[in-house]
């Protein structure tokens, strides 16, 4: 019986350790496991904010425990003063410390928001890569205007090189987010948002939609492959002409609702496609319909 009694606490400790390991493993691939300068700066901002808040939270918790222990019913040394109304020293502490915390948090938040403004180019001696992003139901389209190729649900970028994104939506509002690279940003129909990110080293990172957008939202994920610059150049060269062309008819087919779409490659892209998507005229017009012997054209998508 003693052995059985000791087994339960051991199992509980093992369960807690396993849960903690899982939590830490998840953080390693999320915002607490940065792989680029933007995500690194965001983690620093998060940890600094946490440290400032703990500077008031921890003393408050300790003071609550100390007061409860000191003013317990059995402590005869505790002074009970029912006529206490006001103390300038108490008011100074109660108001000054929270005010300092708010000022510090506001200061680092203001500075951080200026430094991490999504459209602000990253400081680098390397020429940035341009990528045009379109959120669809329920998949992601990535267009490389300089390389003349495109991909679906797979983003390939060169490591150590800034990437300048232009993002829009062909449907409802969505949110582009690669936790290990930083800065989620919204995509909206008829608008272009801008984002600058960089991966410090080669690797594969998870990308996702952070905005609920309907039935296929849960599967609206993509992979980010950061390659060495030479490998990225070879990938772009081998992709060019290796797949179907992405023109207006192909885009109209791609824009139809679908989920769990495997990564797809396009070997050529209409140079005006992204601008036409933003303007709402990307899909090819439907063929004319014949009604009572007369040809009539149905409105554009």
pLDDT in tens, 220-231: 999 999 999 999
Tell me what pLDDT residue 8 has: 52
Query: CATH 2.60.40.420 residue ranges in the chain?
Result: 129-279
Instruction: Could you please state the CATH topology (level 3) that the domain comprising 129-279 is classified under.
Output: Immunoglobulin-like (2.60.40)
CA 110 to CA 105: how far, in whole Å? 8
Query: Which band of pLDDT confidence, cut at 50, 70 and 90, is reported for residue 207?
Result: very high
Residue 141 is given by DSSP the state: E
Lowest mean pLDDT among 82-86, 110-114, 188-192, 293-297: 293-297
Q: What is the pTM of this model?
A: 0.76
CATH number for 28-76+84-115 (one of 1.10.287, 1.10.10, 3.30.70, 1.20.120): it is: 1.10.287
Query: CATH 1.10.287 residue ranges in the chain?
Result: 28-76+84-115
CA 293 to CA 58: how far, in whole Å? 81
CA 274 to chain CA mean position, Å = 22
Q: Report H helices in the chain.
A: 2-28, 37-70, 88-115, 229-239, 248-254, 273-279
């Amino acid at each position: 019986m003693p052995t059985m009694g000791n087994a339960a606490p051991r199992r509980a400790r093992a369960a807690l350790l396993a849960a903690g390991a899982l939590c830490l493993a998840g953080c390693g691939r999320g915002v607490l496991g940065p792989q680029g300068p933007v995500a690194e700066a965001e983690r620093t901002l998060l940890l600094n904010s946490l440290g400032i808040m703990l500077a008031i939270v921890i003393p408050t918790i300790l003071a609550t425990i100390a007061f409860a222990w000191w003013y317990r019913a059995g402590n005869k040394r505790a002074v009970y003063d029912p006529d206490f109304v006001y103390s300038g020293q108490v008011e100074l502490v109660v108001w000054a410390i929270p005010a300092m915390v708010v000022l510090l948090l506001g200061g680092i938040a203001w500075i951080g928001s200026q430094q991490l403004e999504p459209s602000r180019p990253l400081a680098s001696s390397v020429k940035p890569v341009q990528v045009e992003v379109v959120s669809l139901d329920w998949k992601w389209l990535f267009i490389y205007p300089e390389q003349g190729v495109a991909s679906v649900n797979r983003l390939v970028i060169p490591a150590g090189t800034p990437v300048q994104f232009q993002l829009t939506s062909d449907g409802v509002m969505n949110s582009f987010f690669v936790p290990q690279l930083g800065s989620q940003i919204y995509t909206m129909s008829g608008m272009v948002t801008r984002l600058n990110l960089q991966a410090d080293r080669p690797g594969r990172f998870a990308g996702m939609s952070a905005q609920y957008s309907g039935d296929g939202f849960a599967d609206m994920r993509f992979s980010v492959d950061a390659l060495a610059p030479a490998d990225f150049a070879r990938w772009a060269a081998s992709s060019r002409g290796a797949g179907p062309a992405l023109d207006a008819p192909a885009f109209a087919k791609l824009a139809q609702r679908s989920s769990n779409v495997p990564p797809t490659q396009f070997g050529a892209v209409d140079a005006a496609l992204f601008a036409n998507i933003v303007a709402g005229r990307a899909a090819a017009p439907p063929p004319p319909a014949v009604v009572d012997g007369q040809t009539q054209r149905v409105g554009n998508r």
